[in-house]
Chain A
Amino acid sequence: MNAILAVIRRDLLLAMRRKSEVLTALFFFVIVVSLFPLGIGPEAALLKKIAPGILWVAALLATMLGLARLFAPDHADGTLEQMVLSPTPLGLLITGKIAAHWITTGLPLVLLAPVLGIQFDLDAEALGILVVALLLGTPLLSLIGAIGAALTLGVRGGGVLLSLLVLPLYVPALIFGAGAVEAHISGLGAGGHLSLLAALLALAVFFAPWATTAALRIALE
């Protein structure tokens, strides 16, 4: 547990020293969301209907943006080798890194989403559901994304390849996440979607660090 906290502290410290990366992903999120009304037209009813989908797709893409840099800097300067060779189990260190990734990319999206949701005329309750759904869903994105980041580490065209590998795996998160808000708006209740999202998160917390660790060991052989 101490090791996990140490990694989180370290990665947050590093993120503080290069703030621009975190902010870039955040602005990307804002810009993508703002582009949709320009492409679709200002019709309020339509925008309200597609708002959850837009916010979620933008969140997926914004998460993707930082993923390529999840392990790459540590790989380049040899820190990753030291992590593999550390007496601390690699799985714990990786879990810490994934948690730090979520804190720097996922959490800001969760906090920013309601502000953007207001632009789409979502009511307070729908905004609440959106925040809860993102709170459950964005860690899932970081966890699944970490597997892809580890698999494409140091590979030619890694960034593009990463999105090819990871985006299809994001489909369930997208469906349940955006679906929760839509279901609420259409009066069906978001409970089912949210509990499925939570179940997926539990599954991913269990398996994703393991798969990521295996992929990293292979990448470093």
Chain B
Amino acid sequence: MLTATGLSCVRGERRLFAGLDLAVGPGEWLHVQGENGAGKTSLLRILSSLAPPAEGQIFWRGAPIRELAEDYRREMLFLGHHGAVKEELTPFENLLLAAQLDGAPLDETEALGTLARFGLRGREDLAVRFLSAGQKRRVLLARLAVRKATLWILDEPFTALDVKAVDMLSALIEEHLAGGGMAILTSHQSMPLPNGKVLKI
């Protein structure tokens, strides 16, 4: 359960939003909507603990995330505008190394299986810079699938995905929610997922 009370965000000298409350429980997801520059990304960065809020507090299972620190980060996965995918490495290496940095090494067969599930079979050993933009995003989806996190915070996850990949991601999120997971995401598309809440800023 993630709850936040009285969040406000100041960028430079400008106040983007103030007095924001939100709550996401198991099996629920939150669709953050707003115009460009309204502070959607800033909100996600605050919720992921990358940036501190100017005011307000965020609680994970009732404890402030500032104090939980690593315990919160272990259960949370944030994907931002940048994919965090290394162009010089292959999709396979990317998955394994990201998992190692997170201190949860990944089984090689599981990694290969997940890549295959997202249509990257035969591309495992090709450096990411030779892949198309859509295929790069699929590497990210694979990471989403292998990293065992309860809370997903996704910034524009549907960008640059083709119809098939959009379906894959939707199915992935649905599966995640069905298993008691939570998700917070920004997206310009409307999403046909159950248990959704909308937050307009």
A2 within 8 A of B: yes
Question: Which residue of chain B has its CB nearest to the CB of A16?
Answer: B88
Instruction: Please tell me if B13 contacts chain A, counting CB pairs below 8 Å.
Output: no
Cα–Cα, bound, A13→B96 (Å): 13
CA of A42 to CA of B116, assembled, Å: 64
Chain A neighbourhood of B87, CB < 8 A:
77
Given the known interface contacts A14-B86, A14-B88, the answer about A85 and B50 at a Cβ–Cβ threshold of 8 Å is yes
**A78 lies within 8 A of B86 (CB):** no
A78 touches B102 (CB 8 A): no
* B100–A77 CB distance below 8 A: no
1/0 per residue, CB under 8 A from A, across B137-167: the answer is 0000000000000000000000000000000
Q: Give the shortest distance, in Å, between B80 (CB) and chain A (any CB).
A: 5
Within 8 A of B (CB), among A1-32: 2-3, 6-7, 9-10, 13-14, 17-18
Chain B 83-105 near chain A by CB (<8 Å), digits 1 or 0: 11111110001000110111110
Interface status of A195 (Cβ within 8 A of chain B): no
Q: Judging by beta carbons under 8 Å apart, are B81 and A82 in contact? A: no
Chain B residues near A3 (CB, 8 Å)?
100-101, 103
CB-CB under 8 A from B74, the residues of chain A are 87
Tell me, yes or no, whether A121 is within 8 Å of chain B by CB.
Answer: no
Task: Report which residue of B70, B81, B84, B89 has the largest number of chain A beta carbons within 10 angstroms of its beta carbon.
Answer: B84
Is A6 touching B97 in the complex (CB atoms < 8 A)? yes
Q: Give every chain B residue within 8 A of A79 (Cβ-Cβ).
A: 84, 86
- CB contacts under 8 Å to A, within B19-63, are 48-52
Q: Which residues of B contact A132 (CB under 8 A)?
A: none
Is B50 within 8 A of A78, CB to CB?
Answer: no
User: Would B102 and A87 count as touching, CB distance under 8 A?
Assistant: yes
Determine if B52 and A17 form an interchain contact, defined as CB atoms under 8 angstroms apart.
Answer: no
- For A88, the chain B residues whose CB sits under 8 A away are 70, 101-103
Q: Which of A63-77 contact B (CB under 8 A)?
A: 76-77
- CB pair A86 B82 closer than 8 Å: no
Q: How many residues of A contact B (CB 8 A)?
A: 26
B76 within 8 A of A: yes
Interface of A, secondary structure class, is helix
Check B85–A85 contact: CB distance below 8 A.
no
Instruction: Tell me the complex Cα distance, A57–B89, Å.
Output: 35
Chain A residues within an 8 Å CB radius of B73: 85-87
Given the complex, which residues of A lie within 8 Å of B85, measured CB to CB? 77
Q: Is B78 part of the contact surface with A, judged by Cβ < 8 Å? A: yes
Binary interface encoding of chain A residues 194-221 relative to chain B, with 1 for a CB under 8 A from any of its CBs, else 0: 0000000000000000000000000011
Query: Contact at A81–B101, with CB atoms within 8 Å?
Result: no
The chain A residue sitting closest to B104, CB to CB, is A87
- Which of B52, B78, B84 meets A77, CB within 8 Å? B84
Residues of B within 8 A of A83 (CB): 101
Indicate whether B127 reaches chain A with its CB closer than 8 angstroms: yes
**Given known A-B contacts A3-B101, A221-B52, A17 and B76 have beta carbons under 8 A apart:** no
Contact A85 B76 (CB under 8 A): yes
A78-B80, A81-B84, A93-B101 known, 4 other contacts, Cβ within 8 Å: A81-B50, A81-B80, A86-B102, A88-B102
- B interface, CB within 8 angstroms of A: 48-52, 70-71, 73-74, 76, 78, 80-89, 93, 97-98, 100-104, 127
Task: Please list 17 pairs of residues, one from A and one from B, whose beta carbons are closer than 8 Å in the complex, sorted by A's number.
Answer: A2-B100, A3-B100, A3-B101, A3-B103, A17-B89, A77-B82, A78-B81, A78-B83, A79-B84, A81-B82, A82-B78, A87-B71, A88-B101, A89-B70, A93-B101, A220-B50, A221-B52
Task: Give the 7 A-B residue pairs with the shortest CB-CB distance, closest first.
Answer: A78-B82, A6-B100, A87-B74, A17-B88, A78-B84, A221-B51, A82-B84
Which A residues have a C-beta under 8 Å from some C-beta of B?
Answer: 2-3, 6-7, 9-10, 13-14, 17-18, 76-79, 81-89, 93, 220-221
